[in-house]
Amino acid sequence: MKTKIFYKKKIIRKLKNIKDPRGDLSVGNFIDNIPFRPKRYFIFKISDKTVRGEHAHIKCHQFIICVNGSFKVEIDNTKTKKSIFLNSPKFGCYLPPMVWSKLHSFSKNTIAIVFASHLYNEKDYIRNYKDYVKYKNQRK
Ligand code: TYD
């Protein structure tokens, strides 16, 4: 599986982790760790083998942090595919606009927070993979 294109976008970002007897702290700064200024966040709490995502965003950047549990993120930009396993708040997964993503293989009690660069707008979603490929090819 090729990863060159995704590598350039630095999909997996290591965040600062401060170990402390009172409890570990995971820290991220917007812009240097998380490469956009968020306007919105959402949190999902999942306990079963479901699938989320399966869409692309036209303009919206997203940054996913797994706070508890674990899951996989499949990322596809029509040329390369990458599978990322998230199981720690020490790392974040950056999803630039115009990539197709799918979240799956959730463990029990998974909680993740997603920061988004734009407010919720259904018009920013491409929910059909064929439409995504068509849109992507048109923009070349
Ligand atoms: P969706 O983005 O499709 O979820 P996922 O990608 O995780 O599978 O959103 C599910 C529903 O929640 C959809 O009806 C839109 C609504 N929603 C909002 O109203 N605001 C938001 O910020 C998000 C992310 C979703």
10-residue mean pLDDT series, the chain (140 residues): 60 95 95 93 92 97 98 95 96 96 96 98 98 90
**CB 90 near ligand 1, within 6 Å:** no
Contact 122/41 with Cβ under 8 angstroms?
no
Q: Compute, in angstroms, the gap from residue 113 CA to the centroid of ligand 1.
A: 13
In which order are the strands placed within the sheet that holds 81-86?
81-86, 71-76, 100-104, 52-57, 125-126
Question: What is the per-residue pLDDT for 5?
Answer: 55
pLDDT of residue 53: 97
| Helix locations, 80-139, DSSP H | 129-138
- The pair of three-digit structure tokens given for residue 140, joined into one six-digit string: 């070349």
DSSP state of 98: T
Please state which CATH number belongs to domain 4-138: 2.60.120.10
CA–centroid distance, residue 20 to ligand 1 (Å): 35
From ligand 1's centre to the CA of 18, what distance in Å? 32
Domain boundaries defined on the chain: 4-138
CA geometry: angle 14, 32, 37, nearest 5 deg: 115
Tell whether ligand 1 has an atom less than 6 A from the beta carbon of residue 42. yes
To the query of whether residue 55 is one of the catalytic residues in this protein, the response is: yes
Helices (H), the chain: 4-8, 129-138
Partnered with residue 125 across adjacent β-strands are: 57
